[in-house]
Amino acid sequence: MEGDDAQPLSFEVIAAIAEREGVDPTDIEPPEYDALYDVVNPEALDSLFAPREDGTPRGQGQIEFRFCGYDVVVTSEGDVDVTETEQSQA
């Protein structure tokens, strides 16, 4: 998502997991699901690829982590990719 109406990356992660699970994003919370803040700092995730205070863009990159049984990859372009972990597939 791009533009002023784009959701924070932390919400995009929750939404992607909810979509894979077939539930509403508001359902992705303990005790049924892990808390995102137990895995990664949501505020840090949101600001990681956000423009600097002077408006200049940050470098390109990605962050990967495991959340709710999925491997999550978030890129500097704002893409969120969610795949089942190998343990979940076994």
- 20 with 59: CB under 8 angstroms? no
- By DSSP bridging, strand 62-67 and strand 70-75 are antiparallel
- Residue 2: pLDDT band (50, 70, 90) is very low
One-letter amino acid of 13:
V
Query: What is the Cα–Cα distance from 46 to 1, expressed in whole angstroms?
Result: 13
In 3D space, the residue among 72, 64, 63 whose CA is nearest the CA of residue 28 turns out to be 72
Query: In which region does residue 3 sit, left (phi positive, over 0), alpha (psi from -120 to 50) or beta (all else)?
Result: left
pLDDT confidence of residue 3:
44
For the whole model, what pTM was predicted? 0.85
CA dihedral 50, 84, 37, 32 (to 10 degrees): 140
Per-residue pLDDT of 29-61, as tens digits, reads: 999 999 999 999 999 999 998 888 998 988 899
